[in-house]
Amino acid sequence: MHNHKHAIVFTQSPFATDKGKEGLELALTLATYEQPIALFFTGQAPLQLAKNINSDLLQRKNYTQGFNALDLYDIEQVYINAQSLDELQLNQRDLSIAAQVLSTEEFVAKLSHFDVVLQF
């Protein structure tokens, strides 16, 4: 039996596709079963963590609120690509949860510590 360490890598903006919602669903399920897991955000994905998203105006379910429950699920490792954050003109204060911001190089190096990398 293996205790694979999972990295869930988010790459998309929150409502362009359902990827973020389904990636979060998988992450919470893995955490419910106490599997080691970390979340990574790159590309447009840091937008999923932006504060004050009001998707009601889009008539979409605001699944991104689920990221606020990561503590309860004991998901402590959350990493953000600094370059993506810059490109989106966001900084850590704009995010709804505490996350570690890493340079692209550190971000990729960190990913290599995980056994299973799933992209959403």
Shortest Cβ 20–another protein spacing (Å) = 11
Q: What angle do CA 18, 21, 27 make, to 5 degrees?
A: 135
The interface mask with another protein, positions 63-92, x = CB under 8 A, is x-xx-xx--xx-------------------
Tell me the C-alpha distance between 33 and 86, whole Å.
35
The interface mask with another protein, positions 31-50, x = CB under 8 A, is -xx-x---------------
Among 26, 50, 97, 111, binds another protein (CB under 8 A): 26
19 lines the binding site for another protein (CB under 8 A): yes
Tell me the C-alpha distance between 58 and 81, whole Å.
27
Tell me the C-alpha distance between 17 and 12, whole Å.
7
Q: Pick the stretch among 15-23, 39-47, 76-84, 90-98 that binds another protein (CB under 8 A).
A: 15-23
Tell me the C-alpha distance between 104 and 84, whole Å.
9
Q: Tell me the H-state helices in the chain.
A: 19-32, 82-87, 104-111
103 lines the binding site for another protein (CB under 8 A): no
51 lines the binding site for another protein (CB under 8 A): no
What does residue 11 show for φ and ψ, rounded to 5 degrees? -125, -10
Q: Which residue lies nearer to another protein by CB, 21 or 99? A: 21
